[in-house]
Structure formats: C-alpha cells, structure tokens
Amino acid sequence: MGLFNHLTNNSQNPTPQQNSHNEKNGDDQAATAKKNLLTPVHLFSHGSTMMLGEESASASYWAKCGREALANGVEHVVMMGAHWATSLPNTVLISANPTPSKSPVAFVAPHKYKSYALNPDMAFIPAIQSHLSRAGIASKLDHHFDWIHDTYLVLIRMFPSGCPPTTIISANYAYDPHFHVSVGAALRPLRSDKTLFIGSGGSVHNLYRNVWGPMLQHRDNFAQPTPPEPWALDFRQEVIDTFCAGYEQESSPLPKSIPYGREIRSSSRAAPGGGVGGPLLRRKATSLMKHPKYRDAHATDDHFMATMFVAGLCGSVEDVGVEGVLGAEDWELTNMCNSQFTLGGWD
Ligand SMILES: [Fe+2]
C-alpha cells in the first residue's frame, strides 16, 4: 500500500482516537460557528446629557457600532438604560408606547434631538416577554412610557439616519445585581435573532462627586480642570479589568483614520480559551458592586444595572472565549468615566 493510499485509508477509517479528535474539532467548529452567529453586545456609558450634543471619542465609537449593526442586518435593538425602573417585585417593564415622546434633556440644542423619530418595536414584544417568562421573570407593558435620554441619546448617535425598531426594558428598583444578570441571561438566545442588545449606564457615575462648575458656567462638560480623583480611577480600572481582562497595555494610538481614540482589548491569555465572556464574567460583574470603591463610584445603583444586564447576556458557558473591547472612553465633569465596551463581534 502506497503512502497516499495509507493516508487515504486512515482518513476513511479513523481510529477511535481520531474519531474522538475529529468529534472534538467538529464540536469546536460548531461552537465557533454558533458563537459567530450571535450578535455582539454593547455596554455603553451615556454620561451627561451633553454627550448627545458634543463631539467625543464615545460619539464616534457609537456611530461606528451603529454602522456595523446596520451593515450586518440588525433587525431589532433591545436596551436597558439607567433612568427607568419598577418597584414591582421580580418584574421589569417593557416599553410599549406606540408613539413615545422624548423626555426633556438639558444643555443640548433642541435641533439635535427633537426631530429624531423614535421607532418602538411593538411586534417584538411578545418574543421578549416569552423569553423572560420562560426564565420566571415577570414583565409588564408600559403603554405610556416616554423615552429618556439614557437610551435615545445613544440611538441618535448610533443611527443618525433613522432609529431601528427598538425596545427598552426597565431596571428593577431593588437593584439586585443577580436579578439583572438573570434578565440578560433570559434574553441571550435572542442574540441569534438579529437582535442587538445595548446596556446604557456608566462605569464611574456619581453625580454627587462630579465637578459641575465648568459645565454649568461654560457649557464645557469635558473641561477636566483637575485629574479624576483616585477612587474614580481605581473603580474605572476595576471595570476595565472585568470587561477587558488580561490586557497587556493600553494599546498604542490607533491610526488617525480611526477617530475614536484608543482601544483596550482583552488578552487571549486572560482565561483558558481567552476572552472575557462566560460564567466568570457574571461573577466578576456582580462582585464589582461589593468592591470597596463601588459606593464612591456609584452613589446610587441605577447606572450600574446595565452592566449586570450585559454580563447576563454574555455569561453563558457558550460565551467563554468571547473578547471584550474598550472601544472609546471620555471623562466628563472631572470624575465621571464614560467607558464604551463591546463584547463579541460580527465576524
Ligand atoms: Fe444617566
């Protein structure tokens, strides 16, 4: 038997070890293909209202993410923001106003948002409710909810030419991190259904510790007359270490053609298989709320529930290996850190 025949025969009649190897490869490929079919998930910090009207690295990154979503055929957007919650136990509200208005927004010229048409995704609500219900999470439709800047600020920047069909899910006033993780986990299967999930909160967001003078007196939200305080820098670092674990350095500046500044990408050595997704992400994200600097960074919990939501969306065992990227970041009002993360990608 020639070498070619020998190899051919071996490939036609694999040994048990080869079978096992091939099955593993097949499983790996299937897992990879499955992962690749899932949409990425964004965790954005919306910052102050002026982030709507002023140019920034974050705004450029949001626009890039929006272009990519449209180019990849996204049909639904589902968001959890920071400004809407319910006191009903074990419940979230779902935006179901077919003609929502926009709640007022300060320090932004009206022409930058007033004419933007919101696009409530009424037809998608049953699918969302069905997934929540299957996970034992109650949901209630709010037929009178007007959208708030924590969500439409980001949508205007991402999709300036028109809002895709969008649904907003409220937080719960108990601000239980694990409950909000479970909401994300319940909806995770919809990532395979051309649905883009966005959490809109804040990495470091304590309105009581912001330095408001430059914004109130001069409409300058990016003034930074002094550096951020150590507690703010420390907690910002903890959030990056959660969503971009194992990065080796703040990467060198991107080419000038990319306007959104620096990028920090999770290391492939961060965990077996690399990346930051998976059950460990859920544990790390929820643990952030017990960090000694958490209460300095978040006087209230409302702007950190989107972080839990995203950890749930990317916290399945099938998400192990999914990379995290800090695509842009802006400091505002001295101590407010607006980090823009993406988990996963389109290819
Ligand atoms: Fe906010």
How close are the terminal C-alpha atoms of the chain, in Å?
44
Whether 270 has a pLDDT exceeding 50, the answer reads no
pLDDT > 70: percent of the chain: 83
pLDDT score at 273: 53
Q: How confident is the model at residue 347 (pLDDT cuts 50, 70, 90)?
A: confident
pLDDT score at 254: 59
Q: How confident is the model at residue 246 (pLDDT cuts 50, 70, 90)?
A: confident
pLDDT score at 32: 46
255: CA distance to ligand 1 center in Å?
31
Q: How confident is the model at residue 316 (pLDDT cuts 50, 70, 90)?
A: very high
Domains, the chain, ordered by start: 40-343 (3.40.830.10)
Rg (CA), the chain: 22
pLDDT > 90: percent of the chain: 78
pLDDT score at 85: 98
Each as own residue / partner, the long-range contacts of residues 32-37 (CB below 8 Å, 24 or more positions apart, any chain) are 34/192, 34/318, 35/318, 35/319, 35/321, 35/322, 35/344, 36/347, 37/192
Average pLDDT along the chain: 88
199: CA distance to ligand 1 center in Å?
12
Q: How confident is the model at residue 257 (pLDDT cuts 50, 70, 90)?
A: low
253: CA distance to ligand 1 center in Å?
29
pLDDT score at 250: 52
341: CA distance to ligand 1 center in Å?
17
Record the pTM: 0.87
- Candidate from 122-131, 180-189, 255-264 with smallest mean pLDDT: 255-264
What six digits make up the tokens of 226? 């002094």
120: CA distance to ligand 1 center in Å?
21
The whole-angstrom separation of Cα 55 and Cα 212 is 19
143: CA distance to ligand 1 center in Å?
22
98: CA distance to ligand 1 center in Å?
23
Backbone angles phi, psi at 259, to 5 degrees: -85, -5
Whether 147 has a pLDDT exceeding 90, the answer reads yes
Whether 296 has a pLDDT exceeding 70, the answer reads yes
117: CA distance to ligand 1 center in Å?
21
The whole-angstrom separation of Cα 281 and Cα 297 is 20
pLDDT score at 4: 31
